[in-house]
Amino acid sequence: METFEQTLVLIKPDGLKKSLTGNILTKLSESKLEIAGAKVIRVSKALAEEHYYELKDKPFFEELLTYIQGKLHGEHYERVLALVYTGEDAIKRVRQIAGATNPEDADPTTIRGAYGRITTKGVYENVIHASSNPEEAEREIKLWFEPQEIVYDLYPKEEKVLNNVKKLVWK
């Protein structure tokens, strides 16, 4: 049985630097899923650490933080494009199109197989991130997006009055 799901996709700094945004979105559109949210974000160290907290004990963790922050790709690419895709079996469908984590193992017709590489320091620069299960997707979508930035009611939300919160507004 198919289930309606949502998943987080990040076009990582290498994907942006290689000018692959169009190719990646075209590939992902084969899935017939819908985009429910999208934005360009500068990734802080704190956000990078939170996103990859499960990998904090891995030897490549620090290098991975540097990579996702765009610090391997020059100042202009210190950003990612974050997207939320929704639809039937969204998580599995996007992972299939993304391909295996290691770009050398990934099928060459997948995004990672076609465009990824392994750096000399051993990090898999694999062009995109995609959530791998519903719990991870929920955690990641809530980490990267605020409720009003997504066009669907994906998760329960509440209204809160916040005092003393500094916020940038248009003037």
Contact residues for ligand UDP, defined by CB under 6 A: 55, 60, 64, 101, 123-124, 126, 129, 132
The nearest distance, CB 132 to Mg ion, in angstroms, is 5
Cα separation, 72 vs 51, whole angstroms: 18
Least separation, in Å, of the C-beta of 131 and Mg ion?
7
User: Binds 35, which of Mg ion, ligand UDP, none (CB < 5 to 8 A, cut-off by type)?
Assistant: none
- Binding residues for Mg ion restricted to 105-134, rule: CB under 5 A: 132
Instruction: For ligand UDP, give the closer residue by CB, 6 or 126.
Output: 126
Distance between CA atoms of 7 and 84, rounded to whole angstroms? Answer: 6
Q: What radius of gyration, in Å, describes the C-alpha atoms of the chain?
A: 16
How far apart CA 123 and CA 102 sit, in angstroms, is 9
Least distance from C-beta 152 to ligand UDP, angstroms? Answer: 24
The answer to whether residue 129 is catalytic is yes
Residues with a known catalytic role:
129
